[in-house]
Chains A and B, each alone.
Chain A
Amino acid sequence: MSSVAFIVIAILTLAAALAAATLPKLIHAALCFALSFVGVAAFYFLLGAEFVGLVQIFVYVGAVAVLIVFTILLTRHDVEKDHGFNWSGVAVTLAVFAGLIWAVLKSGNLAPTAAPVAPLTVKQIGELLMTDYVWPLQCVGVLLTAALIGALVLVLEEKR
């Protein structure tokens, strides 16, 4: 059951990602990108990481995809130019892929008989965030607040 689901989700996610990279219209690419985010969220659900999956939908589909789409909206280009094939993209992709492969091969703990880990509940994650990881959490909070205020300041400058 779960291996069938894995294959179906993998095909959908990869197809969406491929479409996002190749479709000529920017807006179609952005929507396919959002679809591949949903596929990744489905993977998290399949692995029992419910919280991560939900946050994936929340942040990536609900916020990042909307942000991309809104950016396209506000900077609308009606002319669809053919930019030609982008070889630098291929180089970057290959580099990232090679790095990942290297990291996967280097990590020894890939035995298929690894002991199953009990899935973390949302409550446990919350408790960990509020005890062991409270300082990283606070730092992220300060960073995001600074980004928010920065965005407001930029808008105010423009208005004056």
Chain B
Amino acid sequence: MRGFIDQIFVNAKQQILSLVAGAPDWLGQIVSSLLNITALLVVFLTLFALASVWERKILARIQNRLGPNRVGPFGLLQPAADGIKMLIKEDIVPARADKVVHFLAPILIAATAVLALGVIPYGRNMTPFAIDGGILFFFAVGSTTEVSVFMAGWGSNNKFSMLGAMRAIAQMVSYELPLIITVLPVVMVVGSLTPDAIVAAQGGYSFGVLPHWFVFTPWGAVAFILFFVSGLVESNRTPFDVPEGESEIVAGHMTEYSGFKYATFFLAEYFGMFAVSGMAITLFLGGWHAPLPFLEFVPSYAWFFAKLGVLIFVFIWIRGTLPRIRVDQVMNFAWKFMLPMAFACVIAAALWHYQGRRWAGALWSLGWLVLVYMALTRFLDAGRKFAPRTYRYAE
């Protein structure tokens, strides 16, 4: 029974595939891919609708308001109302815009966001697109987002759009380094680039309670935090949303988009958030494994989506709590703190491995990480004068 519910979606897919069993090989492949893509889109579009209303609710609570509660029970039908509003809005394209590039940018950004979701294992035997270098695929696809952001900024032919695109590309290129380097320790320890192998390596429990998730090792904890912060930047979320800082540059690269095209950007932002959270879960939070042995009767995909919900909540929580960081501070933080810490994580993982992957290894890597952290915080602040800011032209 447990296995049945756990594998219900896998078996359903096999049933549908057996309908075309007599057909040539390529038809089976196409049907299989189409099924995967349909499932992926249905699940994540629903999740997008839910997350958008959830975000507004939580932000409202943080700001001591009630949030949307008029459409449907608890305001749950709000996304439907938003969707209809977006669809019937006039689609305005600036007269001097580069029409083709302006049109293609939202399509491209949403397409790459969906592709990145494909390689994440959502449950036991539930990876839509299981390839050998899945981790590499995820980041390769993610790195093409910059091109679409640039297309949006350039195609609009607007100063604010251009400034926003430049800021976005600058910060995305900078944070891609720590994002990818924090993945290295996990890949080194597991010895594989396949997401399924990484999840499989995190199965099992110490003393019957502590799961073997990488976040519970010193290097894993630090790498997870670095990965999450870089993920915040890559999905352009507060406090790193300078590319669309509405107090300075209207809406950045999305300034000239209206109606459904704007909604597509919104969708891509959420899909990016899901993808980064899903990758963080796969790499550090044990994928679809249950947190405690006696909870293993709950289906694997339920655990994955529960963890996804928690991470999305943290995303929203941070957005409701922290103010926006200044553009130069964002860049300095990436190159002077995140990158050295990410490299330190690689060495910490090596120490952990060569000291026998147990308490001694944990202590060694913890000591090394604390040392690097102390050194960085000590020397980065050296010689910095903290004085009230002087304004030259804005007095």
A interface, CB within 8 angstroms of B: 1, 25, 27-28, 31, 34, 50-51, 54-55, 57-58, 61-63, 65-66, 69-70, 73, 121-123
Contact = CB atoms under 8 A, between A and B. Distances in A.
B339 to A, nearest CB: 11
Contact of A69 (B100, B150, B193): B150
Nearest to B143: A62
The 9 lowest CB-CB distance pairs between A and B, nearest first, are A62-B143, A57-B140, A58-B140, A54-B136, A1-B26, A54-B140, A122-B133, A66-B146, A61-B144
Interface string B222-255: 0000000000000000000000000000000000
Contacts of B100: 28
23 contacts: A25-B98, A27-B98, A27-B101, A50-B131, A54-B136, A54-B140, A55-B140, A57-B143, A57-B144, A58-B140, A61-B143, A62-B140, A62-B176, A66-B147, A66-B150, A66-B173, A70-B150, A70-B169, A73-B166, A122-B132, A122-B136, A122-B193, A123-B193
Given A27-B101, A27-B154, A51-B133, 6 more contacts: A28-B101, A54-B137, A66-B147, A69-B154, A73-B150, A121-B132
Contacts of A66: 143, 146-147, 150, 169, 173
Nearest to A1: B26
Contacts of B162: 73
Contacts of B154: 27, 69, 73
Nearest to B153: A73
Interface of B: 25-26, 98, 100-101, 131-133, 136-137, 139-141, 143-144, 146-147, 150-151, 154, 162, 166, 169, 173, 176, 191-193
Contacts of A122: 132-133, 136, 193
Nearest to A72: B154
A95 to B, nearest CB: 31
B152 to A, nearest CB: 12
Contact of A58 (B131, B143, B147): B143
B143 A54 contact: no
B21 to A, nearest CB: 18
B144 A31 contact: no
A65 B147 contact: yes
Q: Name which of A28, A51, A61 has the most chain B CB atoms within 10 A of its CB.
A: A61
Contacts of B192: 123
A57 B101 CA distance: 20
Nearest to B141: A57
A61 B143 CA distance: 8
Q: Name which of A31, A51, A62 has the most chain B CB atoms within 10 A of its CB.
A: A62
Contacts of A28: 100-101
B133 A50 contact: yes
A54 B147 CA distance: 17
Given A70-B169, A122-B193, A123-B191, A54 B144 contact: no
Q: Name which of A58, A63, A65 has the most chain B CB atoms within 10 A of its CB.
A: A58
A63 to B, nearest CB: 7
A1 B2 CA distance: 40
A34 B191 contact: no
Contacts of B137: 54
Contacts of A31: 101, 147, 151
Contacts of A123: 191-193
Q: Name which of B101, B192, B193 has the most chain A CB atoms within 10 A of its CB.
A: B193
B140 A69 contact: no
Nearest to B162: A73
Contacts of A25: 98
A65 B176 CA distance: 15
